[in-house]
Amino acid sequence: MDIAALITWVVTALGGFYMLATWIKRGGARGGGSRLPVPVVFGHFALAAAGLVVWIIYVITDKDALAWTAFALLVPVALLGFAMLARWIPVYRAHTTAAGGDRQDAPAERYFPVPVVAAHGVFAVVTVVLVLLTALGVGD
């Protein structure tokens, strides 16, 4: 189960990297019109990356404390992710109801493809569940 969690975590990270790169490219890191606060975005990224490193070390060493540490890092990652999702949904809805093409004043996160957002979320939830189950010793 630890390898399955690693795989889902890496897939989640790939989607996250894509959205982070899109957000930075479109000016989100400069603040401006973005609805996603810069500290929340980078906090989400930093905690998720740190957790992934801890999980990789756990997979190599099989130390239970590292599994619980990775899970503890995932809790705020998930909360920040849900907060960003809640702020992204109105941006997505405004884009789908607005007439016309690209607007210069559109928030950077407006350019996130819905399938990437959905896949990132689904893989993130699966990752949290797999990490928790592994930390609990299920499937040993």
The SS3 call for residue 98 is coil
Task: Report the C-alpha gap between 89 and 31 in whole angstroms.
Answer: 18
pLDDT at 101 over 60: no
pLDDT at 100 over 80: no
Is the pTM value of this prediction over 0.85?
A: yes
CA distances from 23 to 101, 108, 120 (A): 18, 5, 15
pLDDT at 63 over 90: yes
Higher pLDDT, 10 or 34: 10
pLDDT at 64 over 70: yes
Task: Report the C-alpha gap between 11 and 67 in whole angstroms.
Answer: 19
- Kindly state the DSSP code that residue 36 receives in the 8-state scheme: S
